[in-house]
Structure 1
Amino acid sequence: MTRPEIQEPRPERYNPHAIEGQWQERWQQSGLYTFDPQAPGQKHYALTMFPYPSGNLHIGHWYATVAPDAHARWMRMRGYNVLFPMGFDSFGLPAENAAIKRGVNPRGWTYENIAHMRGQFGRMGSMIDWTRTFATSDPEYYRWNQWFFTQFFKRGLAYKKGGLVNWCPKDQTVLANEQVVGGACERCGTPVERRNLSQWYLRITDYADELLDFSDTDMPERVRLMQTNWIGKSVGAEVTFSTPAGPETVFTTRPDTLMGATFMVLAPEHAKVKELTTDAQREAVEAYIAAAGRKTDVERQQEGEKTGVFTGSFATHPISGDQLPIWVADYVLVTYGTGSIMAVPAHDERDFAFAKKFELPIQEVIRPEGGEALDVAGSEPYVGEGLIVNSGEFDGLPGGKESIANIVEQLEARGVARAKTTFRLRDWLVGRQRYWGTPIPIIHCEQCGPQPVPDDQLPVRLPDDVEFTPTGQSPLKLDTEWVKATCPNCSGPAERDTDTMDTFVDSSWYMYRYLSPDYGAGPYDPAQRGMMPVDLYTGGIEHAILHLLYSRFWTKVMRDMGLTDQSEPFKRVRNQGMVLAEDGEKMSKSRGNVVDPDDLVAEYGADTVRTYLMFIAPWELGGPWDPKGINGPAKWLSRIWTLYFGGQPDGPRENMTEADLRYAVHSTLKKIDSDFGRMSFNTIVAALMELTNVLVRAGRSDRYGTPAWEEALNMFTLMLAPVVPHIAEELWQGRGGAGSVHLQPWPQVDESAAVRDSVNIGVQVTGKMRGQIEIGKEASQDEALVAAQANPEIAKHLEGKDVVKVIYVPGRILNIVAK
């Protein structure tokens, strides 16, 4: 193998600013990263969650993008036909609030930001295919949001109903349950209020059971657990009690404790509270309901002293006939189960605390096997399984799952209960009372009721000249001309719906639109359905419940509509951690600790920033930013440049065999392949840095200029390409490589070279490291000791001493104890 000639002389010093811009421009002009669905190779659809166009890509955007970009490049070099697109999640409150602050329409502000951020993505050196980009605020995109909504409406999956909703008083809009965190608005942190409003919902609960099946998607266990808990499947029974207001059905997961029910509790919003409240208790009950209305569901579920009020009425136990007092308490939610519970204080912590406070009876019905009777005067209930007691015919049966089915069957035969499965998950509230979002495509007619906008009238475009300062009602209501409409059913006068959609609708199906962004006959070209599911989807763990759950729901509906063959949108999901400030705090403008990637690129170049972000910490964990840490990657790239273009490395002569060099290269390649598969990016960079040291040593040996040396540099260049694409392109071209380095096939591991017959192990003499020896992998302890004694650096520490003990760990270390 002859040594390739350097095509043009390169400067002695590495200057990223002299090469990165020109390569970015050439890649863009040549269409290097344009995806061709007809190109050879197995498809690989890699997708990173698209950003909100806030104005600037921050360091978190870089962290979320450069590692998946490296992975996509690696897959492409391995022969896959890779699609790696990017767009912008551009509807939503931040743009609207920024526009209000500036006194402008959010459209102009949004699209200026998009143009700026596209330039930033380019300076990152990413392999994004920009021919497929879009923004969710493009009418050509949100037209299909509206089309989906009308299809959902026709299928009974979209509906409007009145009820209690979460209301953010600052943003002046309703919030889905998933958008309330700790009793506050997820976006702005304002405490959330509860209001009675008529709102649009999507029936995600129709798919609750199926959403618990993760067999067709590889998600981190943490994400699966978060979604499972949010869906909250509970298997049990509904039991009916008689009350003065008629039958009242409660849901319980422990029907085996029915005989321990000593009182009933209703949610303050329960429809029967008014009828059940006696005149003597009415004032107290109404005051309590008013106080409960000022709390969020989250606050009501928090641990703390229980509150409640007696209605004055009693329920009749369906088995014993006992009269159970009916209370109202805010720890019971009207949105869970039936909004009422049978309270079993002996075996439920919340019921126990309530009973103790209000001196209500406590009846033990489950006892640990071999245990003693519950001390009702004690400080805690018994919530485990055991034997049923004090329950008549059920006495002696095992409590818990083992007997529940049998007990429910007997209760069903008596007509007082039925088996029931419930879910914590509630239907998705999708209406918003703000301007900058997709208009809901429904026309309201007094004669015909709500009617979907016909397909040929989509999109229903957002008007531009609207006063959108939040008032608590939809800003679109103020545009009376826009509101006027004709009923598509009877042709009579009608009005448009003035709410806009939750922006999570936009991101629930966007991965399909990248497949054919200009397609006009549907949300995407069905000829491209073979590109789904997304093979690797990456983004933050904060989207585990909202976005990921909604996307899974949306794909299942699309499947049932015949729009996709898949039941899951993502084959594999992985989450990155977060880059924190130097002190470990979250970065924020208010704290003044934000790291600007543009400044870093201006000082160090994109490849250095890419390297450091992959090297800083395990990608899935993240970690604090160290402003000094980036100097290491900068020096490493300079060292590589000098290795290639600076002639034979200076320094003392090294002794390295061809087998040594080939082992270092091929074993590193094998490790990098494994690490890319595990998405362990920090160890990939570490392995490349370690190989750089080996190559410098090889350059000081007789290997310099040999075929093994040339093979090593060529393979090293290819290994660098996914991580540091600019310098890798320059190294490849500088060594006479044909075409772009990013079009080259990934090197293959020579397994025979990647395995060594010998190993280097450390040698300690009486606990202190004194050197290394090279011995056979299967060398015995005696052979290792002989090799150590033959090494001059080690032997001098043994002179005049007796070896009293030898500790040998094959392949790792030899410890000689000498006196």
Structure 2
Amino acid sequence: MERYNFKSIEDKWQKFWEENKSFKTIIDKNKKKFYCLEMFPYPSGKIHMGHVRNYTIGDVLARFKKLQGFNVLHPMGWDSFGMPAENAARQNNLDPKTWTEKNISVMKTQLKKLGLSIDWDREISTCSPLYYKHQQEFFLELYDKGLVYRKENYVNWDPIDETVLANEQVIDGRGWRSGAIVERKKLNQWFFNITKFSNELLDNLDSLTKWPHKVKVMQKNWIGKSFGCEIKFKIDGSEKIKEIECYTTRPDTLFGMSFLALSVDHPIAKLYENHPDFLKFKKECSKTGTTEESLASAEKIGFKTNLIAINPIDENIKVPIYFANFVLMDYGLGAVFGCPAHDQRDLDFAKKYNLKINTVVSPNLDDETFKIKDTAYVDKGYMINSSFLNGLEAPGKSIEKAIEFLEKNKFGKKKINFRLKDWGVSRQRYWGCPIPIVYDENNQPKKIPKQFLPVELPPIKKFKTTGNPLDSDKEWKEVTIDGKKYTRETDTLDTFVDSSWYFLRFCSAGNKEYGFNAEETNYWMPVDQYIGGVEHAILHLLYSRFFMNALSFNNKNFKLKEPFEGLFTQGMVCHETYKDQNNNWVSPDELVEINGKKFLKNDRKQKIITGPSESMSKSKKNTIDPEEIIHNYGADAVRLFILSDSPPEKDVQWSNDGIAASYKFIQRLWNLHQKILEKINNNCKEDIDNNFEKLTNIFLKNVSNNLINFSYNKIVANLHETYNQLFSEVDKRYTSKTLVENYQKILIAIMPIIPHFANECFEQVSNNKSLTWPIVNEKILVEKSTNYVIQINGKKRAVIQGEKNLTEDELSVQLKKNKELDKYIKDKKIKKKIFVPNKLINIII
């Protein structure tokens, strides 16, 4: 029997799809649209298995919807600005543009080898002036709306990449790319006013019913709406400063207050600007980043002032005022009161500086002796040692009562606050979108007129080791506009700006005049299904949602608020990790297995330590090259395996045995196909039974439901089960028409999963029949008979088969014909019968 030649067949169909532009999309108002989009990749050089899984999941859905008759937009592009290209240019004396374009070419070829149903005519790259010209226009549009501003502010400074990081780009106090410990630095920065839409971004989450709950929770927590109170504290020790305001979510713990902490940028800091110890302390604070993670992980340090704060809720409580490295000026009012017993950070600070620890919340209502030692009590409880608040539930009624007291006595007022901060978008690097701003001789910012856009990056002949090359390019930096001399802004935009609107550009990818137009976005948007990693749950998704709000703000022609109607977050691709005896990471390619044990290929005496299975990463060398796997097994086998073992939202474990099994299964499917081809012309003229048609419709129904529910692993299981049934059914006597029609339906149903194989087989049995998703024949799936359980006094005595929906009398007639029951009911008086339709009858004697 002819073997399945995946190389020639996959090449054939990929060539066919490309030459015939099978996936090219235009607006067709006679069809329902479906916009399927996977998060576009960074062109790092080669695709990895994470890409394979992400784009296979999206491709399955896009192909399914196309077969259902939808007008499917399924585009691809490149998130091509960013530090890796700039770093590679520095290390290898390359131009980032050349490096990036070469990588795009390689990765595009690799993605095509997967057989993806992409409309490549809509391909975009964010580093192209054709793309970022429109981004610069949007920047100026937002500037005119008051949604972009410049100010001096403390920022997260990455000392290795020498650039600013947004809060979301700092992970556990370190830069998300370089891993450097982030510092605090004061710079003039451009900001997007994302906080203007805090309420909208929060409230609109409830409308996103097709988003994972966990992602919405993450966004809600990041936006961080809190209800609290602004409190005024009278100050002793200064003629100039009479009071300080601070924001808190727990005014009920004021009786536990033992210090007041200020930011080093608080106005009171002016009193100490000539104090050497304070200046030294302020410099030390710059080593702490601006994120909550950085502040939480840093050692808590303070500078004690000579000022005293008076507790407004009890003027007998007077506490010292400190400057502290964990207080930032841009949160609340740059001041917090410390309650050590019920906040771990405050407790650490109090212990370090020998401050009082006053317990005011107890887990038990009657336990007023409850004390704090090394761990702050932060759970629910009851107020103690708190005068008029004693006995109240905390938090809850205690907060309401405290705010009521403060407002009544004009010591404070109720206030809503948000954790979300404005988005700092300035980056001190070359390889990014230039900011379309210039500065006059007074250093005042001016917009670059639209006719001078795009502001393009100058070619860089040689990179400095560190810093921003644009700063030293005098020829580019100095510019004349309308006869006046200006200096260009040398910061470039955060790459997350590039990805905050790219889904709109796909709608109008070829439009040179506009980034997108109303007709096309009104037809295609929102994205019906967005697919990507959960690691982007905060950063990218939140910024994209902001961008839609910003563009629609004061814009009658653009009213889209939410870009992604549906969101699916796929799991990681994982692989075992390996180390040699010197604790060095070892890649799977370097290993050989002997008698169940792993050794280095070039040193078989050295045993290998097998570690846990983890997400594939270059640093741990547990990666598999997709290009090599596709070359050895074929794209369909890779697609089949990557979908088979786990639900798409869960991690999948890579297995060499698994990919080999998928390859063999496709060969078995091919053998079955050859068998069916032989049978088609040799079958009888009349059907013997309709088992084949029933089997087909069961398969169609299962596959359809599993496609809708993203249960792609179950589809693979459905296919295995149906293969086994088909193998035995084919030998039965069916007409050629029955065999062909049902087999065609099965092939169409597996086209989203293994498109090359399915299209090849379909072509051989279809006679150019059009491709449409088959409709399930529900009637044939309805069982005409059922099993009835017969009980005597509650005990099962028999099971008989009968037509569905028999009445009690009809079933009783059947029972009289069953001699097996005679020994239980013959000559017995029947007291009553309990009848459950289509299930059982219980005879009580």
- Give the Cα–Cα distance (whole angstroms) in 1 for the partners of residues 301 and 472 of structure 2: 43
Look up the match of 2:738. 708
Report the residue type matching 2:268 in the other structure: K
Q: Report whether the alignment pairs 1:598 with 2:588.
A: no
Do 1:661 and 1:694's aligned partners in 2 also have CA atoms closer than 8 Å? Answer: no
Look up the match of 1:429. 424
Look up the match of 1:84. 74
Q: Report whether the alignment pairs 1:320 with 2:314.
A: yes
Distance 1:607 1:364, change over 3 A: closer
Q: 2:529 aligns with which of 527, 530, 536?
A: 536
SS of residue paired to 1:249: strand
Structure 1 segment 156-555 matched on structure 2, within 5 A: 156-213=146-203, 214-217=205-208, 218-243=210-235, 244=238, 245-273=241-269, 275=271, 285-296=278-289, 297=291, 300-302=294-296, 306-321=300-315, 322-366=317-361, 370-376=365-371, 378-384=373-379, 388=383, 390-392=385-387, 399-402=394-397, 404-405=399-400, 407-447=402-442, 449-472=444-467, 474-486=468-480, 491-530=483-522, 531-555=524-548
Measured after TM superposition, the shift of residue 759 of structure 1 is 8.0
Look up the match of 2:691. 660
- Give the Cα–Cα distance (whole angstroms) in 2 for the partners of residues 458 and 370 of structure 1: 68
Measured after TM superposition, the shift of residue 185 of structure 1 is 1.1
Report the residue type matching 2:16 in the other structure: R
Measured after TM superposition, the shift of residue 506 of structure 1 is 0.5
Distance 1:361 1:657, change over 3 A: farther
Measured after TM superposition, the shift of residue 105 of structure 1 is 1.0
SS of residue paired to 1:415: coil
Q: 2:665 aligns with which of 628, 632, 636?
A: 636
Q: TM-score, normalised by structure 1?
A: 0.86
Look up the match of 2:832. none
Look up the match of 1:67. 57
Do 2:699 and 2:746's aligned partners in 1 also have CA atoms closer than 8 Å? Answer: no
Distance 1:103 1:398, change over 3 A: closer
SS of residue paired to 2:314: coil
- What are the superposed Cα offsets for residues 409-431 of structure 1, whole Å, 9 maximum, x if unpaired? 44234332122111221111111
User: How large is the Cα RMSD of the aligned pairs?
Assistant: 3.1
Q: TM-score, normalised by structure 2?
A: 0.83
Distance 1:730 1:283, change over 3 A: same
Report the residue type matching 2:494 in the other structure: D
Distance 1:773 1:602, change over 3 A: farther
Look up the match of 2:774. 747
- Give the Cα–Cα distance (whole angstroms) in 1 for the partners of residues 341 and 502 of structure 2: 51
Distance 1:602 1:252, change over 3 A: same
Identical pairs, percent: 38
Measured after TM superposition, the shift of residue 376 of structure 1 is 3.7
Do 1:167 and 1:194's aligned partners in 2 also have CA atoms closer than 8 Å? Answer: yes
Do 1:85 and 1:133's aligned partners in 2 also have CA atoms closer than 8 Å? Answer: yes
- Give the Cα–Cα distance (whole angstroms) in 1 for the partners of residues 704 and 513 of structure 2: 42
- Give the Cα–Cα distance (whole angstroms) in 1 for the partners of residues 101 and 781 of structure 2: 52
Structure 1 segment 649-688 matched on structure 2, within 5 A: 658-688=689-719
- Give the Cα–Cα distance (whole angstroms) in 1 for the partners of residues 800 and 695 of structure 2: 17
Measured after TM superposition, the shift of residue 585 of structure 1 is 2.5
Look up the match of 2:762. 732
SS of residue paired to 1:514: helix
- What are the superposed Cα offsets for residues 514-559 of structure 1, whole Å, 9 maximum, x if unpaired? 1111223322011112211000000111111111110000011111
Look up the match of 1:566. 560
- Give the Cα–Cα distance (whole angstroms) in 2 for the partners of residues 540 and 396 of structure 1: 47
Distance 1:586 1:389, change over 3 A: closer
- What are the superposed Cα offsets for residues 594-637 of structure 1, whole Å, 9 maximum, x if unpaired? 21111122111111111111113211112221011112221222
- Give the Cα–Cα distance (whole angstroms) in 1 for the partners of residues 437 and 787 of structure 2: 74
Q: 2:723 aligns with which of 669, 681, 692?
A: 692
- Give the Cα–Cα distance (whole angstroms) in 2 for the partners of residues 382 and 88 of structure 1: 49
- Give the Cα–Cα distance (whole angstroms) in 2 for the partners of residues 89 and 155 of structure 1: 27
- Give the Cα–Cα distance (whole angstroms) in 1 for the partners of residues 3 and 328 of structure 2: 68
- Give the Cα–Cα distance (whole angstroms) in 1 for the partners of residues 416 and 518 of structure 2: 37
Do 1:555 and 1:569's aligned partners in 2 also have CA atoms closer than 8 Å? Answer: yes
Measured after TM superposition, the shift of residue 691 of structure 1 is 1.0
Do 1:91 and 1:436's aligned partners in 2 also have CA atoms closer than 8 Å? Answer: yes
Report the residue type matching 2:566 in the other structure: R
- Give the Cα–Cα distance (whole angstroms) in 2 for the partners of residues 778 and 190 of structure 1: 72
- What are the superposed Cα offsets for residues 443-480 of structure 1, whole Å, 9 maximum, x if unpaired? 101248101111111101111135433533x3112221
Look up the match of 2:652. 623
Distance 1:169 1:777, change over 3 A: farther
SS of residue paired to 2:779: coil
Do 1:171 and 1:470's aligned partners in 2 also have CA atoms closer than 8 Å? Answer: no
Distance 1:436 1:320, change over 3 A: same
Measured after TM superposition, the shift of residue 706 of structure 1 is 4.7
- Give the Cα–Cα distance (whole angstroms) in 2 for the partners of residues 237 and 166 of structure 1: 28
Which stretch shows the higher mean deviation, 115-124 or 40-49?
A: 115-124
Q: Runs of 5+ in structure 2 lacking a partner?
A: 578-612, 680-686, 789-798, 821-836, 840-845
Q: Runs of 5+ in structure 1 lacking a partner?
A: 1-10, 651-655, 762-771, 790-809, 813-819
- Give the Cα–Cα distance (whole angstroms) in 1 for the partners of residues 40 and 571 of structure 2: 16
SS of residue paired to 2:206: coil
- Give the Cα–Cα distance (whole angstroms) in 2 for the partners of residues 273 and 171 of structure 1: 31
Report the residue type matching 1:264 in the other structure: L
- Give the Cα–Cα distance (whole angstroms) in 2 for the partners of residues 87 and 304 of structure 1: 40
Do 1:434 and 1:470's aligned partners in 2 also have CA atoms closer than 8 Å? Answer: no
- Give the Cα–Cα distance (whole angstroms) in 2 for the partners of residues 369 and 589 of structure 1: 52
SS of residue paired to 1:98: helix
Q: Report whether the alignment pairs 1:588 with 2:617.
A: yes
Distance 1:660 1:163, change over 3 A: same
SS of residue paired to 1:141: helix
- Give the Cα–Cα distance (whole angstroms) in 2 for the partners of residues 580 and 368 of structure 1: 43
Q: Report whether the alignment pairs 1:33 with 2:23.
A: yes
Distance 1:276 1:372, change over 3 A: farther
Distance 1:448 1:60, change over 3 A: closer
- Give the Cα–Cα distance (whole angstroms) in 2 for the partners of residues 645 and 479 of structure 1: 67
Report the residue type matching 2:715 in the other structure: I
Measured after TM superposition, the shift of residue 28 of structure 1 is 1.2
Tell me which of the two structures has the higher relative contact order, counting C-alpha pairs closer than 8 angstroms and 6 or more residues apart.
1
